[in-house]
Amino acid sequence: MAHLISFTTARFDVSGEKPNSINPIAGQNVLLWLREELVRAQYRVTEPDTEDWGWYIDVESEDASYLVGASADAVDPTPTVEWTVQVHKNRSMTDKVLGRNKMAADDPLCALIERIIRGDSRIEQVSVTRKA
């Protein structure tokens, strides 16, 4: 299951984003910002890429790997945009069959991303849904 972090902000200019070649969904700028912060925290992070539901990055620590996605409706953007960041922990088929390596409610990467988002004074209305 994913952890979802939703928020509103005018911090990211969706009109300046590289177009998502699959669907007109923004997310690149949020992930570029998060990527910089996660690299600073010693995570290995790929460059943002497109998916049909938005944009994603792959994130790795010493003991876990994740897919982190971001999306917002960019068809008719307003200065303040509602964003969703989703965090999925990658698990092997064996992990899934044996019920191991599940994402915990206090997952360290999710906690870090939440702190980064809440720590930016330009971001408002933060809500978190933990579906561990």
Beta bridge partners of 83: 7
Which segments of the chain have a pLDDT < 50? Answer: none
At 77 the pLDDT is 63
Can you say how many angstroms the Cα of residue 72 is from the centroid of all Cα atoms in its chain?
A: 11
DSSP code, position 52? T
Rounded CA-CA distance 41/47 in Å is: 16
Give yes or no for a contact between 22 and 50, defined as CB atoms under 8 angstroms apart: yes
The amino acid sitting at 88 is H
The set of residues, in sequence order, having a beta carbon less than 8 Å from that of 122 and lying 6+ positions away, is 9, 10, 11
Residues 81 and 12 sit within 8 Å (Cβ to Cβ)? yes
Q: What is the pLDDT of residue 38?
A: 97
Q: What is the pLDDT of residue 19?
A: 83
- pLDDT, residue 55, reads 95
pTM of the prediction?
Answer: 0.91
